[in-house]
Amino acid sequence: MRLRNLMVLFFGPPLLLASAAKGQAPASPDNARRVVRKLVPNYPELARKMKMSGTVKILATVAPDGTVRSVQPMGGSPVLIQASEDALHQWKFAPAAVETKEVIELHFNP
């Protein structure tokens, strides 16, 4: 049942990219690190054929220099997660004094 719920909720091509949280703090636009460079994920061919739409949520660990060190999926279609992770590894954030955790939501619509 869990997989079915994920498949219903999280499908589609990228439209909007948003950073939601900083470090351990609650999500707030005021404390999120600014994204300097974004790469829109490639829309997988399988997702295109199935006309998938939805949201992929990923927790990104961002180094003090602004590079993405690691990503961890928090929700979304398995078909779209890999494309989202590949794109996020190429994002660049504004420098900060410490490493932070950023929750990134990638919205997909056919």
Concatenated DSSP letters of 28-94: -TTTSPPEEE--PPP--HHHHHHT--EEEEEEEEE-TTSBEEEEEEEES-HHHHHHHHHHHTT-EE-
pLDDT of 89 higher than 90? yes
pLDDT average, residue stretch 1-30 = 38
Top-level CATH class of 2-108? alpha beta
CA 84 to CA 60: how far, in whole Å? 11
**Lowest mean pLDDT segment, chosen from 3-7, 36-40, 78-82, 87-91:** 3-7
pTM of the model: 0.69
State yes or no: pLDDT of 8 exceeds 80. Answer: no
Q: What is the mean pLDDT of the chain?
A: 78
What are the structural domain ranges in the chain?
Answer: 2-108
Tell me the pLDDT band of 6, cut-offs 50, 70 and 90.
very low
109 — pLDDT class (breaks 50, 70, 90): confident
Q: How do residues 22-63 score in pLDDT, each as one tens digit?
A: 333 334 445 688 999 999 998 899 999 999 988 999 999 999
